Structure 1
Amino acid sequence: MFEWTEERVSFMADACERTDFHTRLAALLSPYLKKTDSICDAGCGLGYLSLALSPLVGHVTAAERDDRALDVLRRQLARRDIRNVTPLCTDVLAYTPSEPFDAMVFCFFGSMEEIVAAARRQCRGTVLAIVRDDTCHRFSGAPREPGRHSFESACGYLERQGIPYTSRRMALDFPQPLRTREDARRFMALYGRGDAAEALPTSLVSTGDPEFPWQLPGVRRFGMIVLNWKKEKTHEQERETAAGAGTGAGHEPEPVRLRPEAAAGRSG
């Protein structure tokens, strides 16, 4: 299970403060959200996507089980005077809100099976899942096993369950700024993969920035999967009605399945 250690929080906060990744991701999500929506950013981590989503919706519940990570969000909310984001320290996969959310965002958090189970209990509208879509580690280049948190695995689960969805593949820059070359070694030891994880990466570049003179270029490749819970519930009701009608042929309507859209080019 991933743990937000002090070192991980520090590296991630440095990166989030110096990239437009979350702003650009929020812009990609915005067509599926309404200004009046009450949404949940599930497993929000340090909360930078919650901050980017806050101008686009009515209210954001930023749910994260690690209070150390939420402390970063609390400081940012106070500094930016943002008042429509509520940090919530909870295991969102087991959480039940008093009122269902209008939409939920799962950004690099949870398997699709976990996402579907949580959203069925917590959401009455759109579910947006951002899932990794890479075959190698973005900094070390070491091979990465697809696993159950991958884009292909997520789409496969939805297909098997007959759950309607749309999807598209994307990529956005997400580099890692570093204060020293030693920080680069520590970062690779923490996040790298393979035998050379602790070695100084050859991709390290000089930036000319006095505070962060080094940078590891990185691109986050991901798939965006969209589920409309209102439509899904309608399909479920139609299937239940048809099954209960007892037609002579015993026919049950086939679930609507939308195949993934064509891959989008790299953004950023």
Structure 2
Amino acid sequence: MNFDWNSDTIRWYQQANTYSGFFKNISDLIVPKLEGYSTLCDIGCGLGLIDLELSKNIKSITCIDINEKAIKSLEKSVKDREITNIESHVLDYNDIDGKWDVIYVSFFGSLNLEEFLPHCKKLIAIVNKKSSSKFCPEKHSSSKETNEKVEESLTNKGILYSNTEVSFKFGQPFASIEEAKKFIRIHSPKISLEDLEKFLLLYLIETGDKEYPFYIPHMKSMDIFEIEGEL
């Protein structure tokens, strides 16, 4: 997924993670799967929020993403936290030529996971499940790769895998109603004013929190796929 990272989407994503602890929750599940391994590559890393968490539990992390703004945001986070074992590169995943103990992919490249296997001993992939929890107006949102499609793809290709189903909160907090409206418009650009107002009436809640008085709840359901690499 080539996410449209900009100052707004970067800020919202980071705020949602801080508010929910989403990537800390994922990290807690991933860390035991890294036992015995020392190098990891996150392909399509985005802001690298999972890598900031995992950096405490593995010797070396390489982060790769095609989006320069995302990588610059990650590099700032790494510098601010004085993390020394994360290196990052602006790079298309098709151009990787390295080898690592573990390759991690999150909501990215899920229907072609076999392409990563020659580069690792183990592949961990986070894949969306279909969810009844509405985060943006459904009729305006784009379709995504889902766990069912990934399972079908792996089975058809004869690739053995194990998977674990999980679900965590990853809703979006807002400082104002206007910010919530801007968020919806960016993620659902074709939405009408009427549909926007209806959606917010149904799903925007007041939190009583001074910093983020408004919130759109969302449960993000996922499968964690594990596949043996070819190294």
TM-score range, shorter chain: 0.7 to 0.9
Residue 180 and residue 141 in structure 1: after superposition, are their counterparts in 2 closer, same or farther (change >3 A)? same
Q: Which runs of 5+ in 1 are unaligned?
A: 234-268
Structure 1 residue 126 corresponds to structure 2 residue 127:
no
Q: Which residue of 2 aligns with 1:107?
A: 106
Using the alignment, how far apart are the partners of 1:130 and 1:20 within structure 2? 17
Q: Does 1:174 align with 2:175?
A: no
Tell me what 1:96 maps to: 97
Matched residue type, 2:122: T
Q: How many angstroms apart in 2 are the aligned matches of 1:35 and 1:54?
A: 15
Equivalent residue number for residue 72 of structure 2: 71
The equivalent position to 2:187 in structure 1, one of 184, 191, 202, is 191
CA contact (8 A) 2:133 2:218 kept: no
Question: Once the 2 structures are TM-superposed, how far is the Cα of residue 90 of structure 1 from its aligned partner?
Answer: 0.8
Q: Per-residue deviation at 1:136?
A: 5.0
| Structure 2 gap ranges (5+) | none
Partner of 1:248: none
Contact 2:131 2:221 in 1 (8 A): no
Give SS of 1:82's match.
Answer: coil
Q: Give the CA deviation at 1:19.
A: 2.5
Identity of aligned residues (%): 23
The residue aligned with 2:4 is 3
Is the aligned partner of 1:142 residue 2:141? no
Partner of 2:214: 214
> What SS does the aligned partner of 1:184 have?
helix
Question: Does the CA-based 8 Å contact 2:110-2:125 persist in structure 1?
Answer: no
Residue-by-residue CA offset, 1:89-111 (whole Å, 9 max, x unaligned): 111233112xx110011111123
Residue 7 of structure 1: how far off its partner (Å): 2.3
Give 1:138's aligned amino acid.
K
Paired residues of 1:189 and 1:197 also in contact (CA < 8 A): no
The structure-2 alpha-carbon separation of the partners of 1:107 and 1:138, relative to structure 1 and needing over 3 Å to count, comes to farther
CA pair 145-211 structure 1, distance change in 2 beyond 3 A = closer
Check if 1:154 corresponds to 2:153.
no
- CA RMSD, Structure 1 to Structure 2 (Å): 2.2
Higher relative contact order (CA 8 A, sep 6+): 2
Q: SS at 1:55's partner residue?
A: coil
Higher radius of gyration, 1 or 2:
1
Amino acid at match of 2:114: V
Residue of structure 2 in register with 1:18 after alignment:
19
Which residue identity is paired with 2:80?
R
Describe the SS at the equivalent of 1:208. coil
2:220 alignment partner, SS class? strand
Which residue is 1:250 aligned to?
none
Aligned equivalents of 1:62, 1:168: Cα separation in 2: 24
Which of 161, 177, 201 lines up with 1:165 in the alignment?
A: 161
Equivalent pair of 1:30/1:56 in contact (CA under 8 Å): yes
SS at match of 2:148: helix
Task: Tell me the distance in 1 between the aligned counterparts of 2:225 and 2:181.
Answer: 35
AA aligned opposite 1:110: G
Distance, in Å, in 2 between the alignment partners of 1:107 and 1:186 is 26
Look up the match of 2:61. 60
Deviation at 1:141, TM superposition (A): 5.7
1:36 CA displacement:
4.5
Secondary structure of the 1:56 match is coil
Task: Report the number of matched residues.
Answer: 225
